[in-house]
Homo-oligomer: A and B are copies of this chain.
Amino acid sequence: MMRAVLALLLVLFNAPLLAAPMLRGTGDLGLVIERASGSVLIVDTTHHTRIARVEGLGDISHASVVYSRDERYAFVFGRDGGLTKIDMLEQRIVKRIIQAGNSIGGAISDDGTLIAVSNYEPGGVRVFDTETLDPVADLPATYGDGKALSKTVGLVDIPGRAFVFSLWDAGETWIADFSEGNAPKITRLKDVGTNPYDGLVTGNGRHYIAGLFGEDGLSHIDLWAATPEPAKILAGYRKNDPAMPVYKMPHLEGWAEADGLFVLPAIGRNEVLLLDDRTFAEAGSIPVHGQPVFAMARPDGRQVWVNFAPPNNDTIQVIDVPSQKVVATLKPGPAVLHMEFAPRGHEVWMSVRDADEIQVWNTRTLEKVATLSAMKPSGIFFTARAHRTGL
């Protein structure tokens, strides 16, 4: 009898017991990309622990992640065109599609219903339903004679069920507005500059800034304007430069807004640049240890943490924003690729790829408080991103 009951229990509850779905809150979870192995780690940011590894995500070099508004599901954008939906509680892939041949990042709409993916091949943006990953809209990035397709970059969400992205080949920025339904209204802004390579939007969804690979400066668009228009900012900031080689293009995702300033990594120069956050005029620069890759503001904006391109990628510098001074130079280890702050900023997590480690640092004492093992970790993404615009 008892054996029969146990057998029945095993049949009934086997899957949940083995897959260990957890009754727990999801606000303090995160994902760490392990790109060499095509896997991700689910982590608990309160207890500094690893919960599970999920495998089978394909090529996730340069991968990024957004979250459903309930913070249960992660959407991982792979380099191979893969879009993978992960259940953080059941620790498994819910669905995985190959939606293009080559892609770079994505975004989730403010109401949580749409996932947009930025594709290189075929050039354009594809939009999917977050519940099912069924296709909702296909936006080929046509330009010129209308036959060629541009690679798309710098895809962000903005309020009003809309997305903004830029066309590398066309030098355009598009606004795709899904507020009236799943057939979007597209606004094409031309002449944003030569070869936009990445973009960001400010936390309020107002200012879109594209980095330009093909010219010396950046493009700024005020999305609140009645007729948004691109304007060049920081034009010529590299004009005095002795053509220093660029070791790695800085990431714009990490740009920091702090204390009335934007702090951003300079391209190919050992400094971060300061922009006035109202006028977008250059407001100075701060010399740093190497070529910056990410310049990320602690959520309160009082500090900016910077990592660097090779050969200086074993180092992190901490800038005190009010005094505009580097106040600490840390050496976490070889290949510090990415950082993610706790939502209220008391700690920061960082990937130290070549040490196969995730490190957690206290942002006040500047001391390391925990180390977790990970296989060649790169990007770190916490579920709190679900509640923020433009990530």
In the complex where A23-B23, A46-B69, A73-B25 touch, is A161 in contact with B346 (Cβ < 8 A)? yes
Interface membership of A135, Cβ < 8 A: no
Interface contact A344-B384, CB-CB below 8 Å: no
Instruction: Report chain B residues within 8 Å CB of A347.
Output: 111
* Interface mask (A80-112 → B, CB under 8 Å = 1, otherwise 0): 000000001110000000000000000000111
* Interface mask (A332-369 → B, CB under 8 Å = 1, otherwise 0): 00000000001111110000000000000000100000
Measured in the bound complex, the distance between the Cα atoms of B1 and A159 in whole Å is: 58
Interface residues on A, range: 35 or more
Measured in the bound complex, the distance between the Cα atoms of B160 and A347 in whole Å is: 10
- Shortest C-beta distance, A208 to chain B (Å), equals 13
In the complex where A300-B389, A343-B386, A389-B300 touch, is A89 in contact with B23 (Cβ < 8 A)? yes
Measured in the bound complex, the distance between the Cα atoms of B26 and A25 in whole Å is: 5
Interface membership of A27, Cβ < 8 A: yes
Interface membership of A204, Cβ < 8 A: yes
Interface contact B344-A27, CB-CB below 8 Å: no
Interface membership of A260, Cβ < 8 A: yes
Measured in the bound complex, the distance between the Cα atoms of B304 and A312 in whole Å is: 46
Measured in the bound complex, the distance between the Cα atoms of B106 and A38 in whole Å is: 44
Interface membership of A299, Cβ < 8 A: yes
Measured in the bound complex, the distance between the Cα atoms of B225 and A322 in whole Å is: 10
Interface contact B23-A21, CB-CB below 8 Å: yes
Instruction: Report chain B residues within 8 Å CB of A46.
Output: 69-70, 112
By beta carbon, the residue of chain B nearest A72 is: B25
Interface contact B387-A70, CB-CB below 8 Å: no
In the complex where A70-B46, A205-B300, A224-B302 touch, is A344 in contact with B25 (Cβ < 8 A)? no
* Interface mask (A173-214 → B, CB under 8 Å = 1, otherwise 0): 000000100000000000000000000000011100000000
Tally of this chain's copies:
2
In the complex where A4-B5, A71-B71, A300-B389 touch, is A346 in contact with B110 (Cβ < 8 A)? yes
Q: Which of A8, A89, A161 has the most CB of B within 10 A?
A: A8
Indicate which residue in B68, B88, B387 contacts A387 across the interface (CB closer than 8 Å): B387
Measured in the bound complex, the distance between the Cα atoms of B179 and A347 in whole Å is: 13
Interface contact A70-B27, CB-CB below 8 Å: yes
Instruction: Report chain B residues within 8 Å CB of A73.
Output: 25
Interface contact A24-B344, CB-CB below 8 Å: no
* Interface mask (A370-391 → B, CB under 8 Å = 1, otherwise 0): 0000000000000110111100
Measured in the bound complex, the distance between the Cα atoms of B386 and A386 in whole Å is: 12
Measured in the bound complex, the distance between the Cα atoms of B347 and A300 in whole Å is: 25
- Shortest C-beta distance, A369 to chain B (Å), equals 11
Interface contact A27-B26, CB-CB below 8 Å: yes
Residue positions of A touching B, CB distance < 8 A: 1, 4-5, 8-9, 12, 21-29, 45-46, 67-73, 88-90, 110-112, 159-161, 179, 204-206, 224, 260, 278, 299-302, 322, 342-347, 364, 383-384, 386-389
Q: List 16 A-B contacts (CB under 8 A).
A: A23-B90, A24-B70, A25-B73, A26-B71, A27-B386, A28-B69, A45-B69, A69-B343, A111-B347, A204-B299, A204-B301, A206-B302, A300-B389, A344-B387, A344-B389, A384-B387
Return the 4 tightest CB-CB contacts between A and B, nearest first. A25-B72, A27-B71, A25-B70, A343-B387
- Further contacts, 11 of them, CB under 8 A, given A160-B364, A224-B302: A4-B5, A23-B89, A23-B90, A25-B70, A25-B72, A27-B68, A27-B387, A159-B300, A159-B345, A204-B301, A260-B278
